[in-house]
Amino acid sequence: MKGAEAEARAGAHLASLGREIVARNYRIPGGEIDLITREGGTLVFTEVRQRRQIRYGSAAESVTPRKLALMHRAALTYLTRELGRDDLPCRLEVLTIDGPAETGPITVIPLDG
């Protein structure tokens, strides 16, 4: 599966920060959340992006406005469908790995709104 190594490393990294992994690869039609974690009382929805080479831009540059909109929709669906409400503390973020999935530097980018 493409991206599985990067997602596994991302999950291990977030767990090492003290987060509880709640769900992996939560899918809805047209969208997906790679990792859902809990940090204290806040749910965190994480998109994992990895680029082996920067020929076509960095991992962070690969996150499009459309992808952000789909992430937001999937997060809202998770809150309402799985938890029965949409007013819980939560946030979106992107975790990037530039270079090999196993060794490339990890950056966590919080998203506004």
85: CATH: 3.40.1350.10
Residue type at 45?
F
pLDDT of 83 over the 90 cut: yes
pLDDT of 21 over the 80 cut: yes
* pLDDT the model gives residue 81: 95
Distance (Å, rounded) from C-alpha 71 to C-alpha 49? 13
* For residues 12-21, average pLDDT: 97
For residues 112 and 84, the model is more confident at 84
Distance (Å, rounded) from C-alpha 33 to C-alpha 26? 5
CB burial of 51-88 (b: ≥16 within 10 Å; e: otherwise) equals: beeeeeeebeeebeeeeeebbbebbebbbeeeeeeeee
Tally of domains within the chain? 1
- Which domain does 97 fall in, by range? 4-110
Whole-structure pTM value = 0.93
Distance (Å, rounded) from C-alpha 32 to C-alpha 25? 6
